[in-house]
Chains A and B, each alone.
Chain A
């Protein structure tokens, strides 16, 4: 049973539930308390100890059902196979062998696996598969391409070689028995394949997911495929959660050594002003105020989309976000992003300002005229765009004024550094007024960029 539980913990980790050693010890203690005979109680007990949130409970519940339902289908299959063989033996000329479903007396001199298959002892077969799966360390399976090798490993561990020899021998001496054995072997192969598939579903999920996320993180956002957009949104949400957890920690920190005289006097008024309790001055940390200007023309649009999604899911970390989108003229889009779902919001933004050729100069003019007053010395301004202004006046002077009014000016460019300054790219001219210029083409770069911006306020 302990073996089984350990494998269940591995499967749980595969399903995305974090099971630490301490938790597995707790689970062991709990199982020792409630026993294993009542599955419903066992399920409740494991869910109580291992899962730490509602999502984890659901995942773990599914995992539990999959894991502990394993023995059943396997038995049915062997049973179905045994029906087939039973029918065959009915038709065979020796009625004595068909009297009990297994054909009671397997001939002498066969290997243990052959004997087991012929005796139709389902429990024994299931147990043999389970132990062979253990010997072949099925729980190490990681990728679906490994299915074949694990199946053959399990069969080898069960003694397939010996069975083949027996089969060859029987074909010569006792063809009907050989036929039965062959059918049983096919059923066994099927059962083993199912076991391996289940093993894959249980143990390999985590690895596969990590791999996929890793690829997704480093894929260029601008050229992402349509079917991956939803996955990417999920990934961005995950990134947002991570950033939230990292940066929404307490914002007050005591500054030792600076006495807050007023509060100290008030607090000690009860005992005649004798300062028993001291109160220290506290320093409040500001939360970031962000103004984001996003280019939504052409190839940059997709990156802007993900960037806006990320910025707007950082409520706990960021005090105030105002977003503006432009291709040739500029509009504020904060409200749209706050109230609508990401897909709808993006559609609306695109219908308002998208699909134009970009003109950074007129967008900056528009910003200065209407929204310059939103900038304070605490504001970080983020511009996201490729700085390709179609040879129109870049109005870098406005960018200088923006930079002077704000705390920092960060430019995120989805293009690679090599392309900056070539063709109609105005990047070098803009870069002189920016505190930071970074490339931002993949989810990973996006995360780093936003993380750095938030970190400057800590």
Chain B
């Protein structure tokens, strides 16, 4: 019974994401479904441009939730990711307090009473009023829940990873002066990584690990279809087949899905109906981002096109 529900729900995720223009493979849909069910973040790994960030956007759009994005970089710290005190405001209030000190302390007979009154006042300075919430804290404070995208976590420092652990496992953060802030609704957390460095085991343990590779030919055709609807069917087949051939080469940077989509747009703009050697050679720079790669691929263009055409006939 539960099994029936699971597979239909996974299909629901697939179609929901498809409605937002994100064609998800079965694995991706399963990951999204499970992360929702057991409230765990998803760690998405894979080469650049296969739609890791796009996945988070699609989930947010599908569920109609706000997306909060935290772009990681070297040197990112608590003050920029979590919260910061509004120093200027605190300073301003201190100035005001200085003038009004007499009034505040009025009526206090003993030193003890004066101190008590001051303490009450002092606590105000470290209250929610003066906290500037940064993305992580914002995500916890969304009443309707949200999609929190922590992008390119591998670019941040190892210390920042440790900072994330509390949020990822319990959806709460501890601010020393205020106490623990728990999420009103647990956000859907997506972390992406290009595997530039190995992430810590503690972080990985708290996440579902999803690897998105280059899609299969059929899937990629569907992706192109949904993103560039104006492209003709033959051209779509040909170009996707061609790109799959290119990916078999040993290149510095293989063309990924985003390049495929760009190329499809370019071909539509050039009003191409079919792939021919001329047009491929002219637009190869859309696909390949290094001069050396273009030089390596250019002599193969004709062979690849023939291969792609053949596989289309039989496939």
Q: Which of B175-230 contact A (CB under 8 A)?
A: 198, 201, 204-205, 208-211
| Interface SS of chain B | helix
In the complex, which residue of chain B has the Cβ closest to the Cβ of A51? B209
Is the Cβ of B30 less than 8 Å from the Cβ of A45? yes
Interface size class of A (residues with CB under 8 A): 20 to 34
Q: Note all chain A residues with C-beta closer than 8 A to B198.
A: 245
Q: How far is the CA of A45 from the CA of B30 in the complex (A)?
A: 7
Q: A33-B37, A54-B45, A271-B91 are in contact. List 15 more A-B contacts (CB 8 A).
A: A20-B205, A34-B2, A35-B3, A38-B3, A38-B6, A38-B7, A41-B7, A41-B10, A44-B27, A44-B30, A45-B34, A48-B209, A49-B34, A49-B208, A52-B209
Is the Cβ of B210 less than 8 Å from the Cβ of A48? yes
A36 within 8 A of B: yes
* Number of residue pairs A-B, CB distance < 8 angstroms: 78
Interface residue ranges, B against A (CB under 8 Å): 2-3, 6-7, 10, 26-27, 30-31, 34, 37-38, 40, 45, 87-88, 90-91, 157-159, 198, 201, 204-205, 208-211
Is the Cβ of A250 less than 8 Å from the Cβ of B159? yes
Q: How far is the CA of A34 from the CA of B30 in the complex (A)?
A: 9
- A-B contacts, 20 listed (Cβ < 8 Å): A34-B6, A34-B30, A34-B34, A41-B6, A41-B26, A44-B26, A45-B30, A45-B34, A48-B30, A49-B34, A51-B209, A52-B209, A53-B209, A54-B211, A57-B211, A250-B159, A270-B87, A271-B87, A276-B87, A276-B91
A26 within 8 A of B: yes
| Interface SS of chain A | helix
Q: Note all chain B residues with C-beta closer than 8 A to A375.
A: none
For the complex formed, measure the closest distance between the CB of A256 and the CB atoms of chain B, giving whole angstroms: 16
Is the Cβ of A30 less than 8 Å from the Cβ of B3? no
In the complex, which residue of chain A has the Cβ closest to the Cβ of B204? A52
A259 within 8 A of B: no
Q: Note all chain A residues with C-beta closer than 8 A to B10.
A: 41
A339 within 8 A of B: no
Q: How far is the CA of A49 from the CA of B6 in the complex (A)?
A: 16
Looking at the complex, which one of B2, B7, B40 makes contact with A26 (CB distance below 8 Å)?
Answer: B40
For the complex formed, measure the closest distance between the CB of B228 and the CB atoms of chain A, giving whole angstroms: 29
Is the Cβ of A37 less than 8 Å from the Cβ of B209? no
Is the Cβ of B34 less than 8 Å from the Cβ of A249? no
For the complex formed, measure the closest distance between the CB of B118 and the CB atoms of chain A, giving whole angstroms: 19
Q: How far is the CA of A155 from the CA of B21 in the complex (A)?
A: 58
Is the Cβ of A277 less than 8 Å from the Cβ of B30? no
A455 within 8 A of B: no
A401 within 8 A of B: no
